[in-house]
Amino acid sequence: MNSNKTILIVDDSQFNIQILSDILQEKSYKIALAKSGEMALEFVKAQKPDLILLDIMMPDLNGFEVCKSLKNNQKTANIPIIFISGLDKSKDIVKGFQAGAVDYIVKPFQKEVVLARVNTHLKLNETQKKLEKTNNELKKLLDEVKYLSFHDEMTDLYNRRYFENELDRLSNSRQLPITIFVADIDRLKFINDNYGHNKGDQYIKAAADILKRSTRSEDIVARIGGDEFAIILTESGFEAAKIIFDRIRANVIEYNNRNQLVESLEISIGFSIKVKDDENIDNIFQQADEMMYNNKGKNTTLKKYNFSSY
Ligand SMILES: [Mg+2]
């Protein structure tokens, strides 16, 4: 089980290296050697060991410096480092931990103690890695859950929950005007009943795509029911509404021309604009919804609204 774990021994004394290698090889660890701090850093750049046994007193780069350097690098910060040194004063031991080591063994040491500590820290490190992996997976899942809780799976648009939250959030907004569009696919039930739900879903996706393409990136486009959509345009009044409406209409016409469907895609649209502070945004939504219903079946996407009478 130990055979797949690599331990890097860093020591300027060949004698010390030999003793430690012998102890660890008995337990089938893979051993790597570095005779100086520089060599240790070079080695780690090329290959990450599972644990490092690090001497302190070495010419040029000493053990504390090597340890700090590894801990400061994100790629190597997680490798457990155990100091193994003749320096036995409390202040040296404390300095070792401050440099980021997980343990400190004072020389002369007992073989069993070295093995026990190495084994313990390898296990701890393994557990920590597993926890980090699980943690990352959980974070990813949570992001996914968050995304799904505010998006419609079929169309990738925002869902009704998000739309209602936005209405709440905007109910006291002073950044007026706010325009709300309600759009509804005509005869979707007929299409579902006669051509199947897969066909119906294609119409829903096409409508979603058209609404998304017809709006600006900052606009909120949501699917709020089976065949019903809503759009919120903030700080946008009549002029913006007219531009968006014209784009939707042009895109629907273009879609129908390109696809030559037996049943053409038709979308009924209503909209309403909140201009004043004291207008209730829920009422604005209601008005847009009513206008949509009044236009139902009149193929309003192909007809120009009389914008001047609005
Ligand atoms: Mg030394």
**What is the CATH classification number for the domain harbouring 73?**
3.40.50.2300
Instruction: Tell me how many domains the chain contains.
Output: 2
How far does residue 83's CA lie from ligand 1's centre (Å)?
A: 11
Pair type for strands 6-10 and 30-34: parallel
pLDDT at 308: 38
**51-54 and 6-10 beta bridge pairing:** parallel
Could you tell me if 137 and 164 lie in one domain?
no
pLDDT at 295: 83
Given pLDDT bands bounded at 50, 70 and 90, which one contains residue 301? low
Instruction: Give the global pTM.
Output: 0.68
Q: Calculate mean pLDDT across residues 267-294.
A: 94
C-alpha 280 – ligand 1 centre gap (Å): 78
Angstrom distance (rounded) from CA 85 to CA 229: 71
pLDDT one-digit tens code per residue, 52-72: 999 999 999 999 999 999 999
Using the mean position of ligand 1's atoms as its centre, give its distance from the Cα of residue 85 in Å.
7
Sign of CA dihedral 215, 216, 220, 223: positive
Residues 295 and 171 in one domain: yes
Residue 35 Cα to ligand 1 middle (Å) = 9
Confidence of residue 262 (pLDDT cuts 50, 70, 90): confident
pLDDT (average), residues 306-310: 40
CA of 119 to the centre of ligand 1 (A): 23
pLDDT confidence of residue 300: 59
CA of 144 to the centre of ligand 1 (A): 52
* Statement to judge: residues 83 and 205 lie in one domain: no
Residue 213 inside a domain? The answer is yes
Does the bond joining 108 to the residue before it have cis omega, within 30 degrees of 0? yes
Burial class (CB in 10 A: 0-12, 13-18, 19+), 193: exposed
Mean pLDDT computed over 29-35:
96
The CA angle 294-274-253, to the nearest 5 degrees, is 45
Per-residue pLDDT tens digits for 191-237 = 999 999 999 999 999 999 999 999 999 999 999 999 999 999 999 99
d(CA 50, CA 53): 10
**Domain that includes residue 302, residue range:** 160-309
Whole-number pLDDT of residue 1: 54
Statement: residue 305 has pLDDT above 80: no
CB atoms near residue 44 (< 10 Å): 22
Question: How many angstroms does the Cα of residue 87 sit away from the middle of ligand 1?
Answer: 10
Q: Is residue 151 part of a domain?
A: no
Give residue 175's pLDDT: 87
Could you tell me the two tokens for 162? 């998000």
- Give residue 4's pLDDT: 85
DSSP alpha helix (H) spans, the chain:
14-26, 37-46, 63-72, 90-98, 111-150, 160-170, 188-195, 197-214, 238-259, 281-295
Question: Are residues 164 and 304 located together in one domain of the fold?
Answer: yes
Same domain for 81 and 45: yes
